[in-house]
Amino acid sequence: MPQVPSGLRRVASAAVCLLLVGVAAGIAQSPADAPPTDVKTLYDNSCASCHGTDGRGHGPAADALNPKPRDFTRGTFKFRSTASGSLPTDDDLYRAISHGMPGTSMLSWKGILTDDQMRALAVYVKRFSPRFATEQPVPLKATPAVPSSPASIEKGRAAYESLACGACHGDAGGGHDAVASGLQDDWGHEAVAPNLTEPWSFRGGRTAADIYMRLKSGINGTPMPSFADTARDEDLWHVANYVVSLARKPVWEMTADELKDHYARRAAADAASPVQRGRSLVASMACGHCHTPADREGRALPGLAFAGGVRMRLVVWGEVVSANLTSDNETGLGRSSDSDIKRALTHGIKRDGSRMLPFPMGWPAYAHLTPQDQDAIVAYLRTIPAVKNQIPPPARPGALAYLASKFQMLVRGKDFPIVIFAGNAGSAGNPAPSAAAARR
């Protein structure tokens, strides 16, 4: 009986963007400068898949990460105990490694690496930026903490308003999810102002002391300024106490009724910002795995994000090429209606009415997306810049070849694997990777 649905179940989705770990180290260093081999090995094994062996923050996993991994070569570090614009101290770097960055892929290495290893890595990453050779960090001194109290929180609320924190973080009093959009950081990525009611995702820590230091140091490279010169120091403590007081319950502490309310509110918030929700869904559902072509080492081909062109051989059914999801009118989804896109996504029926196999495109799973989430995905796909990349139609085998492979499969029980090919099979061809991409 059919080996098919097993053999070719939509596995291919987990396939295409495989990237090489441990590419040749690209940093030129004089022998005297060369770090002890074991630290370099440790860095290459533990850090390079995101930060890159050259420290540029372009490791093989970096494309899919939000926020992006730190580019060490700039010497711009977000979470410090030093003045705005200044370098971090060794302790700051150590803290980032040992505590991790909550809410991101930067994990806490405590318990995995030894203290000495983490200290050594903190020193090692400084090699990537020349700034550390010429500049000194300017540490900030924390004044004694102001203990939290209703009075302090009230003063903090007033200062939060007068300092216009709400312009980015929303009217936090009732500003659940009311955060600014369209902000950019120095690396050209979208900067999302954190939701201050979700302290478990505060990258730099959730205590009043952590938040006080954020207000004082600012977050280098992002629109978050330092308030060291623009606010009274005591007010920063009040604001920190106020922000701590804004915390809502996380889902893991909620009762069933609270969860019901929470998920309803979540859905309403997602409905209000469909593009943001769609971007997050498309990223986490790994659509780019099949719809962004990659070279044989798994690096995404430049300029072809979501432009399709990944060729897959299903043997019995011939070859299919992933669709161009960009908004190009001729070769992408530009002329497809919303319902065309949703029908393809959830029922495997193309614009011309023809059907897709139930694999490798996982439409039987995507059909379980709520209508609202389907709309969000469409809304996001509409924002992807157009790329002209004509996708060839599926190549079906001849009747005899088809029957022969079916005989092999059904009678002799042969398994035909899905074969996924490197490169772009669409009309845009295979652009050479940029120098930066080649280096990682």
Partner 1 sequence: MKRMVKWAVLAVVVLAAFGFVGFLYFVPPLMSTDPQEFINGEAAMAPPVDGIADPAVRALAERGRYVLLTTECTGCHVTPGPQGPLPDMYLAGGRRFTTNTHGVVVSRNLTPDKETGLASRTDDDVKRVLRSGVYPDGRSIPHGAMPWAQFSNWSDEDLHAVVVYLRHVKPVRHAIPPPAAGAADAVIPGAFEIVEGVDAGKK
With beta carbons less than 8 A apart as the criterion, state whether 61 and 116 touch.
no
Question: Using N-to-C axis directions, what is the helix angle for 371-381 and 274-284, rounded to 10°?
Answer: 90
CB of 285 to partner 1, least distance (A): 5
CA dist 47 and 228 (Å) reads: 33
Residue 189, interface with partner 1 (CB under 8 A)? no
State whether residue 349 is helix, strand or coil.
strand
Contact mark string toward partner 1, 400..419, x via CB under 8 A: --xx--xx--x--x-xxxxx
Output the smallest distance, CB 13 to partner 1, in A: 5
Shortest reach from residue 63's CB to partner 1, in Å = 7
Footprint of partner 1 on residues 261-280 (CB under 8 A)? 263, 280
Give the chain's end-to-end CA distance (angstroms, integer).
Answer: 46
Question: Which of 14, 34, 271, 401 is the binder for partner 1 (CB under 8 A)?
Answer: 14
Whether 168 contacts 184, CB under 8 Å: no
Tell me how many residues contact partner 1 (CB under 8 A). Answer: 96
Residue selected from 223, 318, 358, 433 as contacting partner 1 according to rule CB under 8 A? 358
Site for partner 1 in 207-226 (CB under 8 A): none
- Restricted to residues 62-121, the positions that interact with partner 1 (CB under 8 A) are 62-66, 102-107, 109, 112-113
Cα 135 to Cα 16, 53, 88, 128, 132, distances in angstroms: 43, 24, 11, 14, 5
Enumerate the β-bridge partners of residue 191.
183
Cβ atoms within 10 Å, residue 203? 20
Q: Is the dihedral of CA 294, 296, 298, 300 positive or negative?
A: negative
Stretch of residues binding partner 1 (CB under 8 A), selected from 145-153, 202-210, 294-302, 432-440:
294-302
Three-class SS state of 63: helix
In the list 136, 201, 337, 339, the residue contacting partner 1 (rule: CB under 8 A) is: 201
Are residues 25 and 54 in contact, defined by beta-carbon separation less than 8 angstroms?
A: yes
Of 9-17, 27-35, 173-181, 267-275, the window that binds partner 1 (rule: CB under 8 A) is 9-17
Q: H or E element: which one contains 311?
A: strand 311-313
Which string of x and - marks every residue 149-178 that binds partner 1 (by CB under 8 A)? Answer: ------------------------------
184 binds partner 1 (CB under 8 A): no
Q: Which of 167, 268, 271, 367 binds partner 1 (CB under 8 A)?
A: 367
- DSSP tag of 417: -
Q: How far is the CB of 224 from partner 1 (least distance, A)?
A: 20
Rule CB under 8 A: choose which of 145, 264, 365, 438 binds partner 1: 365
CB of 19 to partner 1, least distance (A): 5
- Rounded Cα–Cα distance for residues 299 and 27 (Å): 20
User: Binders of partner 1 among 35-64, rule CB under 8 A?
Assistant: 45-46, 49-50, 60-64
Least distance CB 258 / partner 1 (angstroms)? 8
**Contact assessment for residue 307 and residue 295, using Cβ atoms and an 8 Å cutoff:** no
Contacting partner 1 within 337-356 (CB under 8 A):
346-349, 355
Which DSSP letter does residue 184 get?
Answer: E
CA separation (Å) from 108 to 96, 214, 278? 8, 19, 29
Shortest Å distance, C-beta 284 to partner 1: 4
Residues 299-338 that bind partner 1 (CB under 8 A): 317
According to DSSP, the β-strands at 190-191 and 311-313 are unpaired
Is 436 a binding residue for partner 1 by CB under 8 A? The answer is: no
Smallest gap from Cβ 123 to partner 1, in A, equals 19
